[in-house]
């Protein structure tokens, strides 16, 4: 019996890295939890840590926040206790995670993207030139402008959107972020349902380039970061697939209803460290969300129902956390 128990203990230590003298790779030499990921989340994470440390002075984090794309390889290599990100895992990230851990990635949503112009991550908006009379657009129509779905003709003229007079025959110039960018992939998945882009679509590397195009081109209809809007362009109201009209206001984003809302994520290993679970649980409380909301650049908090739903996701993955020493 003792031999069996010893074998089980050794196997567990090999799996978790908690054997005597072995420091888990996501820990620094001083025992802090290393966290690798998105640089724009640094202020909110550090604000959360300040509040958390007041109650838990023995919990320490070492943030290495150089960008979203640094997060997946560090998490998969077990060099990061969790992975804060401004975008979802790519298909390649998901495949690599599954090869490493044998399960699908687990993520939680910690905040909505920001409307503050200083933020690197924002909800998306659909823009026209300020001289354009169009005021709203449905997601179904937007898909026919940006994409080329089988059996659905691509919209190429403003008259197809109901504009009359000289506008009726004017060509519509569709643009946005390039298909290979994170925002291009997001739009392709969420609006084009994974379909192909229209032949006339023009993609740019950055939202600022898109908005510059809309500023100088009266015939442009393009998507870009909502927080980059200027008086020279107009963000259209969006009609979702249930017929509800949404404007890109703070209340619409926080409610979770705005159709082009985006989020900040944290991805987790299959068995997170206990300190990580407790810290992230705090981030998903009302107190934690208030801290996120006031920390620059003011990422938007989850509402109470969203907090509850994300805590349930976290609880599922943290049901069997590693001991405090690992």
73-111: pLDDT as tens digits: 999 999 999 999 999 999 999 999 999 999 999 999 999
Confidence (pTM):
0.88
Domain count, the chain: 2
For residue 149, what pLDDT is reported? 82
CA–CA distance, 305 with 312 (Å, rounded to integer): 11
249 and 276 in a common domain: no
For residue 150, what pLDDT is reported? 81
Q: Directed axis angle between helix 274-283 and helix 304-317, to 10°? A: 170
Contacts of 88 (CB under 8 A, 6+ apart): 107, 186, 265
The answer to whether residues 228 and 211 touch, using CB atoms and an 8 Å cutoff, is yes
The answer to whether residue 287 is domain-embedded is yes
Give me the domain span that covers residue 237. 124-255
Banded model confidence at residue 59, pLDDT cuts 50, 70, 90:
confident
Six-digit token string for 42: 């640094």
* CA angle in degrees (0–180, nearest 5) for 51-56-58: 125
Beta bridge partners of 102: none
Percent of the chain's residues with pLDDT above 90: 85
243 and 132 in a common domain: yes
The answer to whether residue 4 is domain-embedded is no
21 and 102 in a common domain: yes
CA-nearest of 28, 30, 9 to 20 is 9
152 and 51 in a common domain: no
225 and 142 in a common domain: yes
pLDDT tens digits, residue range 227-286? 999 999 999 999 999 999 999 999 999 999 999 999 999 999 998 999 999 999 999 999
Q: What is the CATH number of the domain that holds 182?
A: 3.40.190.10
74 and 37 in a common domain: yes
């Amino acid at each position: 019996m003792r031999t069996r128990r010893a074998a089980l203990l050794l196997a567990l230590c090999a799996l978790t890295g908690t054997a005597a003298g072995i420091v888990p790779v996501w820990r620094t030499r001083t025992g802090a939890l290393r966290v690798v990921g998105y640089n724009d989340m640094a202020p909110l994470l550090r604000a959360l840590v300040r509040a958390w440390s007041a109650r838990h002075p023995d919990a320490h984090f070492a943030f290495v926040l150089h960008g979203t794309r640094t997060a997946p390889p560090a998490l998969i290599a077990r060099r990061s206790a969790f992975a804060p990100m401004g975008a979802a895992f790519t298909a390649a990230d998901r495949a690599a995670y599954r090869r490493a851990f044998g399960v699908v990635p687990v993520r939680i949503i910690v905040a909505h993207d920001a409307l503050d112009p200083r933020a690197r991550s924002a909800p998306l908006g659909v823009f026209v030139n300020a001289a354009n009379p169009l005021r709203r657009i449905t997601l179904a129509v937007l898909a026919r402008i940006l994409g080329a779905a089988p059996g659905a003709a691509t919209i190429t003229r403003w008259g197809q959107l109901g504009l009359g007079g000289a506008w009726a025959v004017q060509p519509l110039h569709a643009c946005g972020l390039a298909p290979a960018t994170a925002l291009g992939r997001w739009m392709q998945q969420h609006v084009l349902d994974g379909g192909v882009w229209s032949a006339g679509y023009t993609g740019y590397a950055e939202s600022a380039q898109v908005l510059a195009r809309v500023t100088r081109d009266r015939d442009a209809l393009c998507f870009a970061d909502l927080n980059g809007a200027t008086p020279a362009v107009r963000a259209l109201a969006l009609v979702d697939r249930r017929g509800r009209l949404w404007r890109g206001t703070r209340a619409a984003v926080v409610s979770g209803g705005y159709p082009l809302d985006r989020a900040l994520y944290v991805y987790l290993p299959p068995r997170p460290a206990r300190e990580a679970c407790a810290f992230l649980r705090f981030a998903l409380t009302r107190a934690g969300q208030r801290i996120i909301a006031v920390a620059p650049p003011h990422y938007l908090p989850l509402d109470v129902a969203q907090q509850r739903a994300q805590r349930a996701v976290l609880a599922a993955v943290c049901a069997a956390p590693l001991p405090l020493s690992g």
